[in-house]
Structure 1
Amino acid sequence: MSLEIRIAASTDAEAACNVLRRSIKECCELDHKNDPAILDAWLGNKTPQMVANWFSSPTNYSLVALSEGVVVGVALLTGAGKLALCYLLPEVRRQGIGKALLTKMEEQACGWGVKALQLHSTASGKDFFAQRGYTDAGKVRSPYGVETVFFWKQLDEDATCPNAPKRKKFCNCNTA
């Protein structure tokens, strides 16, 4: 398998939209429970035009993962340090592609000086983020009716930001 991860272009929007829609429908059944109302709400803004708008926003950093030239994954980081998207086609899960996308997103956040990355995970993705050092901060209901898990990860002291300035620890000792 040849894997390429690159910045998403507006021409990737249709393929990326397909990744989002298939991943949500096929991989997130624990979350939507095949409820048509929840699926309609969740998928409502997952259109090629909307995805193209997300990709073109100057405050977002968007990546696509390609295998054999086909878009198989998509991730989006906001300038505020929120991982808004990290989705894969069902057939490429557990091949390291999600981990590669997440690593690139963490590197970008570090480059922007973001101190902590945050995200809302589905039940389906919960273990993935927990295994990568993200802290479970509790459940939050999404606008489309799915209970998500709020995760965060400190970046400035993590190995993901090797060039980040180290914070000085406060010492209240007398050095005479």
Structure 2
Amino acid sequence: MIRTAKLSDAEQAIQVLRRSITELCIFDHLGNDEIVQMWLENKTPAHFRSWVCAPDQHILVAEHDGTICAVGGAARKSGEITLNYIAPSARFQGISKRMLVALERYLQDAGHEHVILTSTATAHRFYRSVGYVDTGAPVMWGLLSGYPMAKALV
């Protein structure tokens, strides 16, 4: 089940983000502790609660058996997917794809004809498989590369 995030989801949701980054995004951080710590810096319950309360952010969680297993986010003004993280135990079950569809639907309902995001190296193939295309050269966030992508919403 995918639903709008609540403030009370902060602890569980942040654990999903932190485990996804540390355990699944190895291709991005290559075990470099400096990169991992930079990436995790804003992955705290307080930051999550600020995202939930931000008027331009739409934060969703996916639950399975009452446990949060994915977290997604979209910025209404820019039409950008800002978060799409999955718990390691929930990979390859279609949850990330369903989360992405829910975020795209939200942005389409907000009037966007295109959606943008910056992919990790780990997720790049996934996004290409669901219709996203590269829109430019990789961008750097500290020591971490990001891949600008876009998709037309039909």
Question: Structure 1 length normalisation: TM-score?
Answer: 0.84
* Matching of residue 95 in structure 1 with residue 93 in structure 2: yes
Distance of 2:25 and 2:140 partners within structure 1: 14
Distance of 1:144 and 1:72 partners within structure 2: 28
**Which consecutive unaligned segments of at least 5 residues does structure 1 have?**
159-176
Deviations 1:71-90 (A, max 9, x none): 00000000111101000001
Larger radius of gyration: 1
* Matching of residue 25 in structure 1 with residue 26 in structure 2: no
Residue 150 of structure 2 corresponds to which residue in structure 1? 152
- CA distance 1:103–1:150, change in 2 (3 Å): same
* Matching of residue 142 in structure 1 with residue 150 in structure 2: no
What is the root-mean-square deviation of aligned Cα atoms in Å?
0.9
Match of 2:58 among 39, 61, 65: 61
Question: Structure 2 length normalisation: TM-score?
Answer: 0.96
| 1:42/1:144 contact within 8 Å kept | no
Q: Percent identity?
A: 35
**Which consecutive unaligned segments of at least 5 residues does structure 2 have?**
none
Shift of 1:126: 0.8
* Matching of residue 74 in structure 1 with residue 77 in structure 2: no
SS in 2 for 1:148: strand
**Number of residues of Structure 1 aligned to a counterpart in Structure 2:** 153
Shift of 1:46: 0.4
| Structure 1 moving runs of 4+ over 4 Å | none
Amino acid across the alignment from 1:66: E
Bigger helix share: 2
